[in-house]
Structure 1
């Protein structure tokens, strides 16, 4: 059975199951289609490894001797560990499946499961992991750009994304309009924003909110306009 191109060898799949035969079987299947695989007999063994930070998918048995796979899944979610999880069990039921899916599991597979079903779940998990890492990288880059702004440039960014024009910003900050334009240009360059719409999306992602007094006509009079 073949996997689509796209570099499965770049993805690490972890298997946590207390049954050595199950671990070996799943590992052989995944390696046969190009994935890297690490196996563990229990949650603590997995947590003690470096795979926690690099895995693209965790295949987790629900019954692990004295450990509970569902509880371990929920602990990982609570700790904000971004590993997509596939739960497997020879003793699953509907309430257990619902609980697992509500906690964010990619899939819940009853044993014995078809190879195709497991591989499909792994593909979905790897896709989710890549998306999460891409979003995390983008958010980090955005934060780095924002932290490079001066305090004045941050003020200008907040007011620009609140919808104020340069003349209004100049009035709010007691600056000349030319100075505002300079700050605005520097801010757009540092944020690598190509348009106002893109800058607004960045501000939303960063959680930037201008004070209500900075909203257009938000409690402060507009700057005076020249008379003809």
Structure 2
């Protein structure tokens, strides 16, 4: 039940905290507000386990540093990252660090709820444990060369305009390849596409290491 799920909102912007809390409470979630990553870390070990909505741009410690510290301290909660518009490079770093999803500000209510629910759903079903390396590779094999080029650019953290420049095509053409790529991979968000690419990448390196925050089941 959604009423049993707790979301820790970590953002130094009071307006963002209040807005996200309002949306989530009306959707049936419980929320705990944290004015900074430092404040969250101070209480996280003794706090109820839940999903973390984590802003990436904060004073003292940014979102990526908070993620690293969560791993060091054994704080195993699924993380959804809040990024600025077009900040793909930061989102990629967050995904590599174990975030299960990211959303860009400003976001719609439906987008926020979908990302949060996906995080809880993945935690409950151990989604990435089920996503075997060979399945990820099979999905990637369905892409054309250009679609894979676009995905590789996104994995590198490049925005559409940079990918277009590197490939010698227009940003609009990149958008078309990107849409086709996501359809073939059977994903609805860039974070899902990145996750498939990371799983296949790790398999190609010979060691498949999925972050614990992605594969732990609910206790």
* Matches of 1:36 and 1:51, distance apart in 2: 18
Give the Å deviation of 1:55.
2.8
Structure 1 residue corresponding to 2:21, chosen from 24, 27, 30: 27
Residue aligning to 2:42: 48
Among 97, 101, 106, the alignment partner of 1:112 is 106
Partner Cα separation in structure 2 for residue 123 and residue 94 of structure 1: 22
* Structure 1 residue matching 2:77: 3-state secondary structure: coil
> How many residues align structurally?
127
Contact preservation (8 Å) 1:46, 1:52: no
Contact preservation (8 Å) 1:57, 1:129? no
Q: 1:57 maps to what in 2? A: 51
| TM-score, length basis structure 1 | 0.51
Gaps of at least 5 residues in structure 2 are 127-219
Are the equivalent residues in 1 in contact too, given 2:81–2:103 (CA < 8 A)? yes
CA contact (8 A) 1:62 1:69 kept: yes
**Quick one: which of 28, 32, 36 aligns to 1:38?**
32
Q: Distance in 2 between matches of 1:94 and 1:28?
A: 27
The equivalent of 1:82 in structure 2 is 76
* Match 1:128 to one of 122, 140, 163: 122
Asked if structure 1 preserves the Cα contact closer than 8 Å seen for 2:83 and 2:90, the reply is no
| Equivalent residue runs for 1:178-189 within 5 Å | none
Which consecutive residues of structure 1, in runs of 5 or more, have no partner in the other structure?
Answer: 1-6, 133-228
In 2, Cα distance between the equivalents of 1:59 and 1:116?
Answer: 15
Q: Which has the higher contact order (CA 8 A, sep 6+)?
A: 2
Give deviations 1:63-85, integer Å, cap 9, x for gaps.
11232111111221233321000
Q: State the distance in 2 between where 1:29 and 1:93 align.
A: 24
- Alpha-carbon shift at residue 91 of structure 1 (Å): 5.8
Q: Distance in 2 between matches of 1:24 and 1:51?
A: 24
